[in-house]
Copies of this chain bind each other. A is one copy, B any other.
Amino acid sequence: MQKFQETLQKILPVNGEVMEQTQERLDDLTKPLGSLGVMECIAKKIAGITNVVKPGLPKKTCILMAGDHGVVAEGVSAYPSEVTPQMVMNFISGGAAMNVLSRHVGAELLIVDMGVGSDLPDMPLLIKKKVAYGTNNMCSGPAMSREQAVEAIENGIEVAEEVILKGAGLIGIGEMGIGNTTPSTAIISLYSGKKVEEVVGRGTGVDDERLNIKINAIKRAVEINKPDIADPIDVLSKVGGYEIAGLTGGIIACGTHRVPVVIDGFISGAAAVIAVALKTEVKDYLIASHLSEEPGHRAMLDYLGLKPMLHMNMRLGEGTGAALAMDIIDASLKILNEMATFSEAGVSEKVEEE
């Protein structure tokens, strides 16, 4: 059995009993029952994941995986592929949005080369897990081989496991890769059963002409490759990407090690779709952050059974939405840990209703 399959098998359901005990505590705090909505759900979910009724604040780590995409040759993006390594250098030097936001929420940020199209220099802050120099153009055949897809997943598992070993208790995932809304759209179109036109978007901001090129490219890729949705590795290898596969691996590792994982937008959502298609229980370990401007994101979150807490019209990726959500997750755990109960505060409870 392959390593990723062994890892998958270790994913267990979250602890419902612990979640009930956490809800009892939440219900005893000085507020009307359920009035903190999603904050209560988050606290309860993390309790169930970690097996702790009152979990403390976790060490936060964001993992940003980068990869290039052969399909860019079709003209699907408003930016050239050279922007992927350029942005990796920007992440390393701390100037990108994700650097600002992970610093803001006090999360460590790791940059991983999963399949950038060019060689990157050795740098202490860059984790090199490159499987290939970008994917092949999925319009002319599979984006990668099945072996490469598995290698990328296992590399992603390794990255996440190392981070977890170093104490990460909450992991946010994000990505960078010019062209990567195109494979992500293919993936959600396949798993939602919706037409490409219903789930496609403008990515970094393409005009109508490029949008049509993008739609046609996705349709051709699906037609030529005939991905089998009953076999998520088949889908990933034929119409996926290395950073997507790596994030799928990262998510799986979180499920195995009982670490909550915050997904970002459209591309990390596609990685989560593959992970959930591989093993349904993964759903319980996911926390949604924002609703992306990318139209297919809603279908993706529906597939994952998640609701986004942030409605910010964002469409940047990198993990920016996940980072913002981490702060709300911290706040939710503080609510659980720091609020007074009715009896502690001497506050009257609800009037009995007949």
Residues in B with CB closer than 8 Å to A39 are 312, 314
Q: Is the CB of A346 within 8 A of B316?
A: no
- When A308-B311, A324-B328, A348-B83 are in contact, do A30 and B96 touch as well, CB less than 8 Å? yes
Chain A residues numbered 68-112 whose CB sits less than 8 Å from any CB in chain B: 77-80, 82-83, 86-87, 89-90, 93, 95-97, 99-101, 103-105
- When A30-B95, A311-B308 are in contact, do A36 and B90 touch as well, CB less than 8 Å? no
- Distance in angstroms between the alpha carbons of A36 and B324 in the assembled complex: 12
Q: Is the CB of B345 within 8 A of A86?
A: yes
Q: Mark A312-333, 1 if CB is under 8 A from B, else 0.
A: 1111100010001001101100
Check: A124 CB closer than 8 A to any chain B CB.
no
Check: A6 CB closer than 8 A to any chain B CB.
no
- Select the residue from A105, A207, A312 with max chain B CB neighbours within 10 A: A312
Which of B103, B310, B353 is in CB contact (< 8 Å) with A310? Answer: B310
- Distance in angstroms between the alpha carbons of A260 and B222 in the assembled complex: 50
Nearest CB of chain B from residue A160's CB, rounded to whole Å: 25
Chain A residues numbered 7-45 whose CB sits less than 8 Å from any CB in chain B: 29-39
Check: A309 CB closer than 8 A to any chain B CB.
yes
- Distance in angstroms between the alpha carbons of A335 and B349 in the assembled complex: 43
Residues in B with CB closer than 8 Å to A310 are 309-311, 328
Q: Is the CB of A78 within 8 A of B347?
A: no
Q: Mark A140-162, 1 if CB is under 8 A from B, else 0.
A: 00000000000000000000000
Which of B35, B96, B104, B331 is in CB contact (< 8 Å) with A331? Answer: B104
- When A37-B315, A327-B327 are in contact, do A95 and B32 touch as well, CB less than 8 Å? no
Least CB separation from A354: chain B residue: B209
Q: Is the CB of B90 within 8 A of A313?
A: no
- When A39-B314, A100-B338, A320-B36 are in contact, do A207 and B308 touch as well, CB less than 8 Å? no
Residues in B with CB closer than 8 Å to A93 are 340, 345
- Distance in angstroms between the alpha carbons of A87 and B340 in the assembled complex: 11
- 20 sample A-B contacts, Cβ–Cβ < 8 Å, listed by A number: A29-B97, A30-B87, A30-B96, A32-B79, A34-B205, A38-B312, A78-B353, A80-B348, A82-B348, A95-B338, A97-B339, A100-B334, A100-B339, A104-B330, A104-B331, A210-B353, A307-B311, A309-B310, A310-B311, A327-B328
Report the 8 A-B pairs with minimum CB-CB distance, sorted nearest first: A95-B340, A37-B313, A32-B204, A38-B312, A35-B316, A90-B345, A86-B347, A37-B314
